Amino acid sequence: MPSDDIETLLQHDFNALADRLENDRFEQRLLFRLKAKERARLGVIALAGGIGAAFAAAQFASLGRFVAPYLASASPDLLASDMPTQIAGSLLLAAAVIATALVLRQDA
């Protein structure tokens, strides 16, 4: 049997096998696994952000009380309406959410 016959046999066998493997689900499984790493990374960032936000929220009340007199000196109406704690908390939370969203958007 000449060597080019071996080559032909191998090519036929190989091409037939490759054709069968062309359309199975390997590709999807692989891409899913590749994206799983990215999803895990984003999950860790989101979890860390959530813990940070929760910790920050826990500080809002005391922070509000601390900054209230300064805010009041700038705007006596705020102190009179008893709003500084809620406003300061909301502003800080909004800033944290916006910052997290910006980071996630750039990472994606």
Q: How far, in Å, CA of 24 to CA of 36, rounded?
A: 20
The answer to whether residue 105 forms part of the interface with another protein (CB under 8 A) is no
Q: How far, in Å, CA of 20 to CA of 9, rounded?
A: 17
Q: Which span (13-21, 42-50, 54-62, 75-83) binds another protein, by CB under 8 A?
A: 13-21
Give the residue carrying structure tokens 């944290």: 96
CA 25 to chain centroid: 27
CB 52 within 8 A of CB 96: yes
In the complex, what is the shortest distance from the CB of residue 37 to another protein, in angstroms, rounded to a whole number?
Answer: 9
Q: Which span (12-20, 45-53, 73-81, 93-101) binds another protein, by CB under 8 A?
A: 12-20
The site for another protein (CB under 8 A) is made up of 1, 3, 6-7, 9-11, 13-14, 16-22, 26-27, 29-31, 33-35
